[in-house]
Amino acid sequence: MRHTYECPLRWADLDLLGHVNNVVYVDYLQEARVDMLRTHRPTRPAGELVDGLVVVRHEVQYLLPLTFRFRPVTIECWVTEIRAASFTMAYEIFDADPEHPRGRRVYVRANTVLTPYVFSEERPRRLSRDERTLLADFLEPTEPVARPEPTPMRTSETGHYPVAVRFSDVDAYGHVNNVKYFEFLQEARISLMSRLWGDAWAAAGRAQVVVAQMDVDYRVPILFRPEPYDAWTWISHVGRTSTVVESEIRDGSVVLARARVVLVFFDPSTQRPTVPEPAVRGPLVAFAATES
């Protein structure tokens, strides 16, 4: 069984290309996930899942751009794995399309690993029998997809970005909400690109960059405080039409989150990947070489 959620779009969800921003999709996933658990919880006596969950990992694959309209977009979500102290949910964000072979136009596919959490004691816990029964109603087992190994963390002044937490970033449990990590990482990534491209930033605009894949591991909760945290960003690969950017958010030597992002150079006029100009690609290659 799959849960279906009709998610409304907001004008503020759009980026400079007029597409729904990559960060906002993670907010959509959260909306669908909470709706699924809240909708079906009354049929079970346990009911701790909505109130005591933390995200361990997000894997988000961006397939097609979604533009603004007044009708909602459809999200299906289901469970692909249930373990002793965690479970994995899968999602598709799509519009029905009778002309498509699958009958739908898919914008995003994603997976989220979650664990029940005792917030009063700041520790994870095991799933109860009733919670496992609830989740089993949505179970469609799939084989996990192998992901590339992360590269060693690299620090540089160019790749450093101070992450300042706003009070509004914090959820009801006192932790920075999982969606906000994507926002922090986006800011750090843009900071790096603006430093690398400098005066070529305008040239970079002629070859827009879109996110194709983003994987985030959540290690330690980020809390609200006046002092900023440190985000370190580096380039681990530069291809013909894409580049891989990796990041860590740290508190001193403690890793709070780790991310790997695949960026694709995109031509808005053709809606296809494109080879960037030398003024855009060159600094990326040079930075990756000095950091390796």
User: What pLDDT, on a 0 to 100 scale, did the predictor assign at position 223?
Assistant: 96
Q: What is the chain's mean pLDDT, rounded? A: 91
Which residues, including other chains, have CB under 8 Å from residue 179's CB and lie 6 or more apart?
23, 26, 27, 30
Q: Is the pLDDT of residue 265 over 80?
A: yes
Query: Checking DSSP bridges between strand 104-118 and strand 123-124, what pairing results, if any?
Result: antiparallel
pLDDT, position 47: 47
| 149-292 has the same fold as 1-146 | yes
Three-class DSSP category at 100:
coil
User: Is residue 43's pLDDT more than 60?
Assistant: no
Query: What is the structure's pLDDT at 100?
Result: 85
Return the residue matching tokens 């699924």: 36
Predicted local confidence at residue 151, as pLDDT: 93
Model confidence at 188: pLDDT above 50: yes
Answer positive or negative: Cα dihedral of 42, 137, 75, 101: negative
At residue 34, the pLDDT reads 94
Residue that has been written with the tokens 């994995």 in this structure:
88
Q: What is the reported pLDDT for 158?
A: 95
Mean pLDDT of the 141-155 span = 89
User: pLDDT by residue (tens digit) across 163-178?
Assistant: 999 999 999 889 999 9
Check if CATH label 3.10.129.10 holds for domain 1-146.
Answer: yes
Helix spans in the chain (H) = 22-40, 129-136, 178-197, 201-205, 278-291
Is 149-292 assigned to CATH 3.10.129.10? yes
Regarding pTM above 0.75, the answer is yes
Mean pLDDT of the region 149-172: 95
Average pLDDT over residues 29-35: 96
pLDDT at 207: 55
Ranges of each domain in the chain: 1-146, 149-292
Environment class of 155 (CB within 10 Å of its CB; exposed 0-12, middle 13-18, buried 19+): middle
- 292 or 56, greater pLDDT: 56
With tokens 């361990």, the residue in question is 56
The answer to whether residue 25 scores a pLDDT higher than 70 is: yes
- Give the pLDDT confidence of 253-264 residue by residue, as tens digits: 999 999 999 999
Assign 67 to helix, strand or coil.
strand
User: What's the one-letter identity of residue 281?
Assistant: R
**Tokens 């503020």, residue located:** 12
Phi, psi of 43 (to 5 degrees): -80, -5
pLDDT at position 44: 45
